[in-house]
Amino acid sequence: MKKVNVLLSTYNGEKYILDLINSVLAQEGVDVILTVRDDGSSDKTMEIVRGINDSRIRFLEADGNLGPAKSFLRLLRDCEPADYYAYCDQDDIWYPNKLSIAVSKLSVDKPSLFMSTYDLVDGDLQFMKTHDMEFYNPLRIETTLMYRCPSGCVMVFNNGLRDILNEKYPESIRMHDFWTLLVAMGVKADIVTEDSPLIKYRLHEGNTVGLSKGFFDKVKRFKRSVTKKKHERYLQAKSLYDCYSDHFDDATNELLSEVVDYRKSLSNRFNLARDKRFREKKGSYKYVNSLFVISVILGLF
Report yes or no on 81 lying in a domain: yes
Most confident of 64-68, 73-77, 297-301: 73-77
Query: Are 71 and 122 members of one domain?
Result: yes
How much is the pLDDT for 282? 65
E-assigned strands of 45-189? 57-59, 84-88, 93-94, 112-121, 127-131, 155-158
Query: Is 233 in the same domain as 278?
Result: yes
**Number of structural domains in the chain:** 2
Domain-terminating residue out of 143, 178, 202: 202
pLDDT for residue 61: 87
Does residue 12 lie within any of the structural domains?
A: yes
| CA count, 13 A, side-chain hemisphere, 117 | 15
Query: Phi and psi (nearest 5°) for 226?
Result: -100, -10
Question: Based on the domain organization, do 139 and 258 belong to the same domain?
Answer: no
Which range marks the domain in which residue 255 is found? Answer: 215-297
Same-domain pairing of 195 and 102: yes
Structural element, H or E, at residue 6: strand 3-10
CATH number of the domain residue 167 falls in: 3.90.550.10
Mean pLDDT over each residue of the chain, to the nearest integer = 90
The answer on 73 and 29 residing in a single domain is: yes
User: 174 with 236, same domain?
Assistant: no
How do residues 206-224 score in pLDDT, each as one tens digit? 554 555 555 556 566 556 6
Last residue of a domain, one of 202, 227, 243: 202
Lowest-confidence segment of 53-67, 173-187, 208-222 by average pLDDT: 208-222
Say if pTM beats, i.e. exceeds, 0.75: yes
**Does one domain contain both 196 and 223?**
no
The whole-number average pLDDT for the span 102-122 is 95
**Torsion angle of alpha carbons 173, 19, 116, 169, nearest 10°?**
20
With respect to residue 207, please indicate whether it lies within any of the assigned structural domains: no
Whether the CB-CB separation of 182 and 175 falls below 8 Å is answered with no
Q: What pLDDT digit, counting tens, does each position of 263-282 carry?
A: 999 999 999 999 999 887 76
